[in-house]
């Protein structure tokens, strides 16, 4: 028990002298925002797909401060939309123009088709011919024949049981022999 008390005292003394801050790793988080100078660029692409009716062009270029570009789109109504734009420090300015005239074709009027009614002849099938109901003979049951005569049982005979009365003899008890009590020493 003394050992445990002594061990507890040493543990408390060691814990009070431990300085976690000296041994803890030190991390310094430094964040520097990386900014890159604007770079000039230029691109252009063109898509013309007759099957999906896609037809558009887009081009754009930029020097260090101003972005200019334009794009053309074929609209479903048959017109072409042309957008020219310029973006700089003062904002985004777009000029939208349309080429062509919108066309909305009239829908064709629905006319119900007239077909003659089908003329089918009735199929020529023979009526099924079923034979008469089958003739089954009535079942014939034969009575069983016993070859041996029926067994003859004999009634059992019982005789009355003979009981014999038990004989008891009186028990013989022997008187116990007493020993004299031992002598105890006196104190």
Predicted TM-score (pTM) of the model is 0.39
CB 22: neighbour CB atoms within 10 A?
A: 6
pLDDT value of position 18: 58
pLDDT value of position 21: 62
In the numeric block, the tokens 């691109």 are attached to 43
* Residues of the chain where predicted confidence (pLDDT) is lower than 70: 13-24, 186-187
67 burial via Cβ count (<10 Å: 0-12, 13-18, 19+): middle
The structural domains of the chain, with segments of one domain joined by +, span 37-70
> What is the per-residue burial (b if ≥16 Cβ within 10 Å, else e) of 121-136?
eeeeeeeeeeeeeeee
* 38 in Cβ contact with 58 (< 8 Å): no
Retrieve residue 37's tokens.
């100078």
Alpha-helical runs (H) found in 112-185:
none
pLDDT value of position 174: 80
């Amino acid at each position: 028990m003394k050992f445990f008390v002594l061990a507890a005292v040493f543990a408390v003394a060691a814990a009070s002298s431990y300085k976690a801050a000296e041994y803890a790793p030190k991390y310094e988080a430094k964040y520097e925002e990386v900014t890159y100078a604007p770079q000039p660029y230029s691109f252009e692409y063109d898509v013309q797909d007759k099957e999906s009716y896609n037809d558009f062009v887009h081009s754009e270029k930029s020097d260090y401060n101003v972005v200019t570009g334009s794009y053309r789109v074929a609209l479903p109504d048959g017109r072409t939309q042309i957008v020219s734009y310029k973006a700089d420090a003062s904002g985004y300015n777009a000029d939208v123009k349309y080429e062509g005239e919108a066309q909305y074709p009239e829908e064709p009027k629905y006319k119900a088709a007239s077909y003659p009614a089908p003329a089918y002849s009735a199929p020529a099938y023979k009526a099924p011919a079923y034979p008469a109901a089958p003739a089954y003979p009535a079942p014939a049951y034969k009575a069983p024949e016993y070859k041996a005569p029926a067994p003859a049982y004999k009634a059992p005979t019982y005789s009355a049981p003979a009981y014999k009365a038990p004989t008891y003899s009186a028990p013989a008890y022997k008187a116990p022999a007493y020993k004299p009590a031992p002598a105890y020493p006196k104190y």
